[in-house]
Structure 1
C-alpha cells in the first residue's frame, strides 16, 4: 500500500470512529460494541485492503499507554486493601480458566496436543484491560467491585502471557515443569516491579527539572513505552513494569505537576487514550477478514469450528463464574470460622464480577503471534476471535443492565470517611486560617480586608453546607446556573471585542482561559 493511501485509510478510520461513537451514544450502546461491529463490517467492504496486524507491534503501541492510564488513576489505597482479591482474579482465575479451556478443547479435538490446548486457554483466559475500561466507563459500580475489575485488568495480562509462553515452549521441547514455571513467573514479576519502579522514580526526580509544561507532558508519554520496552529487554514482565511505573507516576503527579500541567496533561491523555481504545476495537473488527480468509472462508468456519468455539466460550464463562463464586464461598467459610478480615462480595456482586470478563486486543495479538506450523494454529485464531466477539457483543451490551438489576451499593466500611462537602469544608477552614495569618502587616494593620472576608465567608458557607447537601441542592444549582449565564455573557462580549479589533489574540487567550477555568469550576460545583 502506498504511504499516501495508508494515511487516507487512517483518516477514514478516524472519521468512522467519530461516526460510530456518535451512533453508540444515540443508541445507548457501549462504544466498544459499535466500534467492533463497525470494524467488522468495514473489513468486508469491496475495494478496501485486508488489515494484517503485526501482533508484537500492536502490543507495543497500544498496551503500555492504556495500562499506564489505568494505573495512573486507580485508587492506590483501595488497590492495597483489595490486593488479595485482585491477585485471585489476575492469577488464580487465569490459571483456572486456562486449565478448564484446555480440558474442553482437548475433549472436543482429541488430536490437538495438550500443550496446544493449554496455549488456547492462555490466549483466551485473561480479560482485557482495554475492553474492561471501555465498558466500565459507562456503568456505575461499587468502589470495591470497580477496583477489583480495574486491578485485575492491570495484572492478568502478565499471567496469560507467561502461561502462553510456557505452552509454546512445551510444544517446541516436548516437556513442561510446573516448578520451573512458577520460579520463572516470580522472576518475571519481581523483575518487572524493579524495572517499573526505577522508571517511575527517574521520572519523578527529573520531570520538574524540565521547566516547561509541554516537555513535562511529553515526558509522561515516554514512561509507559520506556517501562514496557526496558522490561522486555531485560526479559522480565513489561506489563508489570508498565503498571508499576504508572502507579508511581500517578501517586506523585499531584506533587511534581503544577495545576496548568495537570489540566493540559489530563486533557491530552484523555484524547490520546480515547483514540487508542477506539482504534484498537476498529482494528480487531477489521482483522476478521484476514482470519476468515486464512482458514478457508466462512463456510469452513461455520461447518468445522463454530460449535467448538461456542463451547469454549461457554466453558471460559462458566470457569470464571465457578472461580468467583468459589472464592466468595471460601471467604464466607473463613468468616464462619472466625476469620473476619475479608468480607464476601455477595451473590449479586459475584454475578457482576463473573459476567465482566470481556476479551480484546491482547487475546487477538497473542493468538496472531502463534508460530507458523503450530498445531491447530488456524483453530486458535478463530477461537480467539470468536471469544472476543462473544464477550464484547454479549457481555458488553448486557453488563449495564445486570449492574442495574443487581442494585449494588458501597458498604459502610468501604465508603470514604469524609464526603466531598466535608473535605471542602476542611480545606476552606485551613485556607481561611492561612489568609488570616498573612492578611496583616508587621504593625498589625489589616492590609487584605476583602480577601480575608472572602475566605472567612467561604469557610462558614462550606461548614454550613457540609452534611446538608439535599437541603441546599436547588438553591446551589440555581446559583451556578446564574454563574454559567454570566460566564456565557462575558465570553460573548470577549469575542465581540476581539472581532471588532479592540483586543489582540494574547488578551483573548488569557481572558478566555480565565473564563474557561471559571466555567469548569461552576460545572464541578453544580454537579
Structure 2
C-alpha cells in the first residue's frame, strides 16, 4: 500500500511539473490530459505488440482499487476541504437555490438520464436493465466543480453564483450516493423495494450522515476551543475527518453528508470561536494544500484509467449519446428552472448558462461505476461514465471561462 501511495505521488508530481513548465493548462485538467495522452500512447504500443510499458502500467492500475481509494479515503478529505471555506451566512442567503439544485435537480436529472439511456441502450442492443440505467443516472448527475470554481474566482463571478455552485456540489454528492445505493440494490436484486425500505435507507443514510456530521463538528470545535496549538488543532481536524468517515462507513450512513456538515461547522463556528488567527492561517493553508494535491492525484488516475475501460464501437457511439443526454438533463433540471425562477432564487439573469455548462462531472462518478458488481452492465456503465466525465472536464471545463465572461458582460 505504501509503495502504491509513493508511486501515485511521484507520477502526479512529474505530470504537474510537465504541465506547469510547458503545457500550462489549468492544473487538474492539465495532469489529466497528460495522463490520457500517455494512456492512448500505451494503447497504441500494445496494439503494435510492444508490451514493455503497457503491461507494467496496467498491472499497477489493477493493483490499485480506485473506487475504494476515492470513496473510502480521498472523498472525505476533499469534501471537508471544500465545505471548510463555505460561509454559513452566504449559504443561508441562497439556501433555496442550493437545496433545489442539490436535491430536486439531482432527482430529476437521475430520472431523465436513466430513462433516456435505457431507451438508447435498447436500440443499441446493450444488456442494460432500467434499474442499471437509473444507477448510471444517479452516479452521473452529481457535479464536481473543481475546474469551474477556480474560474469563478478568477473572473470575479457574483457571490450568488459562486455560493450556489459550491453549495450544490457539496450536497448533491451525498444525494447522488444515496440514490446510487438505492438503485444498485434494485438492479442487483431485480426487485423494487417497498416504500418502507426506501424510507429506512434514506433515513439511515441522510439522517445518520447529518447527525454524525453535527456531532463530529461540535466535538472538534469543543476540543479546539480548549487549546491554542495550531499543530495539534490541524491534527485534530485531520483525525476527525478520516476517523469520522470510517465511522460513517461502519454505521452505514452517508459519509459525504457527514463530512460536509463537519466542514461547515469547523469552518464557521470553529473559525469564529475555537481558533486563533495563527491557527486559522495554518488550518486554511493545510487543507488548501491537501485539496490541491488530492485533486491532482485524482485527475491523474482518471486519465490513466482509460487503459482499463472496455471500449467498443457500440459503446463509443452510446457514450457520445450519453454526453448529450447528460447535458440535456442538466439543462432541464438546473438550467431551465434557474432561467424561470432565477429572480426568485436571487441569482443573476444569465446564471442558467453557467449552471448548465458548469455542471462538470468528476472522479466520484467513475469511482461509483467501478464499485458496481462485475459483469456486462458494469462494463457498459463504466464506459458511458468515462465518456461523459472526460467530455465534461476537457470540453466544458476548458470552455467555461468563455461562457462565464460572456454571461458577466451581458449582465453588466
How would you bin the TM-score normalised by the shorter chain?
Answer: 0.7 to 0.9
What is the CA–CA distance in structure 1 between the aligned matches of 2:384 and 2:338, rounded to whole Å? 30
Of 124-133 and 238-247, more deviation after overlay is shown by 124-133
Instruction: Evaluate the alpha carbon distance shift between residue 146 and residue 237 of structure 1 in structure 2; reply closer, same or farther with a 3 A threshold.
Output: same
Residue 371 of structure 1 corresponds to: 373
Q: Deviations over 1:205-249 (max 9, x none)?
A: 112444432111111212222332222222211111101111110
Partner of 2:129: 113
1:516 alignment counterpart:
none
- The alignment status of 1:326 with 2:336, answered yes or no, reads yes
Q: Distance in 2 between matches of 1:354 and 1:108?
A: 23
Structure 1 segment 224-303 matched on structure 2, within 5 A: 224-251=241-268, 252-291=270-309, 295=310, 300-301=311-312, 303=313
Q: CA deviation at 1:8?
A: 5.1
Match of 1:78 in 2: 90
Of 36, 48, 61, the residue aligned with 2:32 is 36
Correspondences of 1:304-323 after superposition (within 5 Å): 304-323=314-333
The 5 Å alignment of 1:92-171 reads: 92-110=104-122, 111-133=127-149, 136-171=152-187
SS at structure 2 position matched to 1:376: helix
Does the 8 Å contact 2:358/2:400 carry over to 1?
A: yes
| Among candidates 332, 357, 360, match of residue 359 of structure 2 | 357
The reply to whether residue 214 of structure 1 matches residue 231 of structure 2 is yes
Instruction: Map 1:430-469 onto structure 2 (within 5 A).
Output: none
Distance 1:5 1:108, change over 3 A: closer
Structure 2: how far apart are the matches of 1:5 and 1:194? 34
Q: CA deviation at 1:6?
A: 6.7
Q: TM-score, normalised by structure 2?
A: 0.87
1:65 maps onto 2:81 in alignment: no
Cα distance between partner residues in 1 of 2:149 and 2:345: 26
**1:268 deviation in Å?**
2.2
8 Å Cα contact 1:143-1:410 kept in structure 2 = no
Q: Residue 49 in 1 paired to residue 66 in 2?
A: no
May I ask how many residue pairs the two structures share in their alignment? 390
For 2:145 and 2:339, locate their aligned partners in 1 and report how far apart those are by CA, in whole Å: 26
**Change beyond 3 A, Cα 1:8–1:236:** closer
- Of the structure 1 ranges 278-287 and 4-13, higher mean CA displacement relative to structure 2 is found in 4-13
Q: How does 1:463-478 map to 2 (within 5 A)?
A: none
Q: Is the 8 A contact 1:144 1:410 kept in 2?
A: no
**Structure 2 Cα separation of the partners of residues 316 and 176 of structure 1:** 25
Distance 1:191 1:317 in 2: 32
How far the C-alpha of 1:408 sits from its partner, in A, is 5.7
The match for 1:179 is 195
Q: Cα distance, 1:57 vs. partner?
A: 2.3
For residues 139 and 18 of structure 1, do their structure 2 counterparts lie closer, same or farther at Cα, with a shift above 3 Å needed? farther
Kindly indicate whether the alpha-carbon contact (under 8 Å) linking 2:9 and 2:297 is maintained by their aligned counterparts in 1. no
Structure-2 separation of matches of 1:4 and 1:184: 38
Cα–Cα, structure 1 residues 8 and 86, in superposed 2: closer, same or farther, change >3 Å? closer
- Structure 1: where are the runs of 5+ without partners? 336-340, 412-527
Task: Report what 1:402 is aligned to.
Answer: 403
Give 1 or 2 for the bigger CA radius of gyration: 1
Q: TM-score, normalised by structure 1?
A: 0.69
Contact 2:360/2:396 (<8 A) preserved: yes
Using the TM superposition, give the Cα deviation of residue 72 of structure 1 relative to its aligned residue in structure 2, in angstroms.
Answer: 0.9
Q: How far is the alpha carbon of 1:356 from its aligned partner?
A: 0.5
2:47 match: none
How far did 1:325 drift? Answer: 3.7
In structure 2, do the counterparts of structure 1 residues 132 and 157 end up closer, same or farther at CA, with 3 Å as the change threshold? Answer: farther
**CA–CA separation in structure 1 for the residues paired with 2:74 and 2:151:** 17
